[in-house]
Amino acid sequence: MTQPTFDPSSIESILHEERHFNPPSDFVDRMGSVYVSSLSDYEKIYNRSISDPQAFWTEIAEQLHWYRPWDRVLEWSPPDAKWFVGGQTNICDNCVDRQVRNGHGDETAIIWEGEPVDNGGPEIRRLTYADLQRETARLGNALKKLGVRKGDVVTIYMGMVPELAIAMLACARIGAAHSVIFGGFSSQAIADRVTDADSRVIITGDGAWRRGKIVPLKDNVDQACETLAAGNRDVDAVVVLKRCENAINWQDGRDHWYHELTAAADEDCPPEAMDSEDVLFLLYTSGSTGKPKGIVHTTGGYMVFTYITARYVFNLHPGRDQVYWCTADCGWVTGHSYIVYGVLPNRVPSLMYEGAPNFPAEDRFWDIVERHRVTQFYTAPTAIRAFMKWGAEHAEKHDLSSLKVLGTVGEPINPEAWMWYHRVIGGERCPIVDTWWQTETGGHMITPLPGATPTTPGSCTLPFFGIDAAVVNEKGEEQPANTGGLLVIRKPWPGMLRGIHGDRERFLETYWRRVENMYCAGDGAKRDEHGYFWIMGRIDDVINVSGHRLGTMEVESALVSHPAVVEAAVVGVPHEIKGTGIAAFVTLESHAEPSADLREQLRDHVAREIGAIAKPDQIRLTDALPKTRSGKIMRRLLRDVAAGTDTEQDVTTLEDLTVLAKLRESEEE
Ligand code: WT7
């Protein structure tokens, strides 16, 4: 595996942003209480967290419940970190049972709103910590009855319903690792992940509501099971939540109704005492090469890190009528860390919404904010760009005065979108926390603290406590201000990934070989003269579509698996809403006739292989791909071609490409 060579000086500082925003002067008043309320406080705490991490993390970890205290805070033998070594805890206990023990059993833990709306309005459910305790215990016992043991991997493929959070917590409760697969992924994606994780139990639903339509979850699982059976892999049990009441097929012996299993299960299921370094979950994410990688997170460090980042970054305060809403899906890491695991231990209600932002109309999110009096709101730049396009009037119809902190995550936010968010949604009253992090980091790494950090549109500002982030060249030397380089983390942190499931070599190669003993995030970045970080995008063949990573090679493999395709090259192309769209250059078998119909077929084929998120925005059928003399596809050229012509009708011909290729050949080699 070779890494593309990267020339840090090739990243130029692209933005010259002059706008700065201090935390609003009435922020402390509006919030009632703020954990970190000045930049100098931030600096004091940050400096201590770096000079004495053991003391810093000890104080945080002690705020949570452990069955057995740890012997050592950290064992670091690069690139392997163990946190809270020897300690035993359970994250479900800390999210749920601990709140009940402390007398908060009847407080709301999850507010859920369904997508369908009838005359009585949408369906709303409020689950207390006591409800979660009972439901996670029942499902935990039901899973045990199906043969799930400590250390097994349970696959979860569901819509955004409370039972999804319950399923995650139930696994954690009994010490099983979960692997949540985003409900928008295809049956092939399920089969791949189930195989890689060697998972034998799947929790799903009959269907999921999305923009008024039913996503056929169970059909997809059935198909995945067929694929798995063809490869001689068995799924022992499929647990099915009834949600949409759509017709489904049923396989006796394998399939079980969620409601029947849990109704029959005992309510007593004490959380398992887990070693701090026991696996909590796998979460698959795309890389530049090959199949998706199962990122491994363990129990103690992840728990402490998500708890404290959620607390400080969103200023979560229990008992102050806060309602926190993150619009992500639990199928992504954002949902893991900032809908479930980081939020529940802070005893602030976490709002979950089932459906689309434009159902039944484009004001749905603002309607939800108004009705539930949402105080902290966390979403993605791609969503903000869609809101901008739909128009400010949808937000202006609603009373958004409850909002106090706004957050973004997933990709660099363009300054226009930042300003729109600040003005139209935040009413110029709300700090914006632009949080840089990754599936691999577990939680927020570089982010403003809302009461402390002055913000500037497009910068994720300063590192969180304990995070030693830097921009370096390939030798690991720090770059001067305003010079591009590699974003690295130089010291271990509690939420860091512990590996890629089953692939040690890929773990070393992807994150640790580029710069010695530093975690290399795969992002290019610069720091400005104030030390603020600016993320400039991926340095590998990964494209960030709507805030989610896709490997170009994954999409290429999907295309090439179609019988009409000989070869494919996929590149990112600027896209108004998604940030980056997907352009595919495809050469066909000689018998295949290029046509609009075939392009549509190829698009659908990719959706079937990976999921709708990977559907190319442009497909260009060509007779050949431009290559260097050594046979490397000239991606830079393809990127230019894709970005330069905006109509997908346009079929770039062999002649054009060879001419262009010849022109660029010398440069590329
Ligand atoms: C990649 C991680 C972290 C949850 C969502 C995505 C990009 C993420 C930001 C941000 C600029 C960002 C990076 C990163 N990214 N947040 N605030 N500013 N870029 O998780 O799928 O693991 O992707 O998303 O490129 O490496 P992910």
Could you read off the pLDDT of 427-483 as tens digits, one per residue? Answer: 999 999 999 999 999 999 999 999 999 999 999 999 999 999 999 999 999 999 999
- Position 654 scores a pLDDT of 46
| CA-closest residue to ligand 1 atom 14 | 438
Counting atoms of ligand 1 from 1, which one is nearest the CA of 380? 5
Does the Cβ of 412 fall within 6 Å of ligand 1? yes
The confidence band for 177, taking pLDDT boundaries of 50, 70 and 90, is: very high
Pocket test for ligand 1, best of 435, 459, 535 (most atoms within 8 A of CB): 535
Does the Cβ of 436 fall within 6 Å of ligand 1? yes
pLDDT at 292 over 60: yes
- Position 656 scores a pLDDT of 56
Sheet with 201-205: strands ordered across:
255-257, 237-241, 201-205, 153-157, 177-180, 279-285, 293-298, 499-500
Counting atoms of ligand 1 from 1, which one is nearest the CA of 435? 17
Tokens of 638: 């393809």
Q: What is the CA(474)–ligand 1 centre distance, in A?
A: 21
- Position 376 scores a pLDDT of 98
Q: What is the CA(439)–ligand 1 centre distance, in A?
A: 8
Q: What is the CA(411)–ligand 1 centre distance, in A?
A: 5
Counting atoms of ligand 1 from 1, which one is nearest the CA of 434? 17
The confidence band for 661, taking pLDDT boundaries of 50, 70 and 90, is: low
The confidence band for 563, taking pLDDT boundaries of 50, 70 and 90, is: very high
| CA-closest residue to ligand 1 atom 1 | 438
Mean pLDDT of 246-260: 98
Task: Report which of 416, 354, 430 is spatially closest to residue 387, judged by C-alpha positions.
Answer: 416
Torsional class of 546: left (φ above 0), alpha (ψ -120 to 50), beta (otherwise): left
Q: What is the CA(523)–ligand 1 centre distance, in A?
A: 9
The third-level CATH classification (topology) of the domain covering 128-280 is Rossmann fold (3.40.50)
% of the chain at pLDDT higher than 90: 84
Pocket test for ligand 1, best of 295, 436, 455 (most atoms within 8 A of CB): 436
- Position 651 scores a pLDDT of 44
Residue recorded with tokens 């290399």 = 520
| CA-closest residue to ligand 1 atom 27 | 438
Does the Cβ of 185 fall within 6 Å of ligand 1? no
- Position 12 scores a pLDDT of 45
| CA-closest residue to ligand 1 atom 6 | 410
- Position 2 scores a pLDDT of 38
Higher pLDDT, 551 or 99: 99
Does the Cβ of 280 fall within 6 Å of ligand 1? no
Does the Cβ of 335 fall within 6 Å of ligand 1? no
Render pLDDT for 12-63 as a digit per residue (tens, 0 to 9): 444 567 799 999 999 999 999 999 999 999 999 999 999 999 999 999 999 9
Higher pLDDT, 422 or 567: 422
pLDDT at 666 over 80: no
CATH class of 542-664: alpha beta
In the chain, count of helices (H) and strands (E)? 21, 31
The confidence band for 294, taking pLDDT boundaries of 50, 70 and 90, is: very high
Render pLDDT for 382-411 as a digit per residue (tens, 0 to 9): 999 999 999 999 999 999 999 999 999 999
Map out the domains of the chain as residue ranges: 128-280, 542-664
Does the Cβ of 382 fall within 6 Å of ligand 1? no
Does the Cβ of 170 fall within 6 Å of ligand 1? no
Q: What is the CA(70)–ligand 1 centre distance, in A?
A: 32
Does the Cβ of 334 fall within 6 Å of ligand 1? yes
Q: Is the distance from CB of 310 to CB of 342 less than 8 angstroms?
A: yes
% of the chain at pLDDT higher than 70: 94
Same fold? 128-280, 542-664: no
d(CA 373, CA 393): 19
- Position 643 scores a pLDDT of 85
Does the Cβ of 521 fall within 6 Å of ligand 1? yes
Q: Which amino acid is at 8?
A: P
Does the Cβ of 409 fall within 6 Å of ligand 1? yes
pLDDT at 667 over 50: no
Render pLDDT for 106-118 as a digit per residue (tens, 0 to 9): 999 999 999 999 9
- Position 639 scores a pLDDT of 87
The confidence band for 646, taking pLDDT boundaries of 50, 70 and 90, is: very low
Does the Cβ of 435 fall within 6 Å of ligand 1? yes
For the CA atoms of 482, 486, 487, 491, what is the dihedral angle to 10 degrees?
-120
Question: What global pTM score does this model have?
Answer: 0.92
**Helix 654-668 vs helix 635-644: angle between axes, to the nearest 10 degrees?**
130
Tokens of 78: 């690069």
**Mean pLDDT, the chain, as a whole number?**
93
Q: What is the CA(181)–ligand 1 centre distance, in A?
A: 18
Residue recorded with tokens 């099915």 = 240
For the CA atoms of 147, 150, 154, 160, what is the dihedral angle to 10 degrees?
120
Sign, CA dihedral 347-348-350-351, equals positive
| CA-closest residue to ligand 1 atom 3 | 438
Does the Cβ of 523 fall within 6 Å of ligand 1? yes
Does the Cβ of 414 fall within 6 Å of ligand 1? no
Task: Report which of 580, 604, 456, 588 is spatially closest to residue 530, judged by C-alpha positions.
Answer: 456
Render pLDDT for 504-557 as a digit per residue (tens, 0 to 9): 999 999 999 999 999 999 999 999 999 999 999 888 888 999 888 888 988 999
Q: What is the CA(549)–ligand 1 centre distance, in A?
A: 8
- Position 642 scores a pLDDT of 86
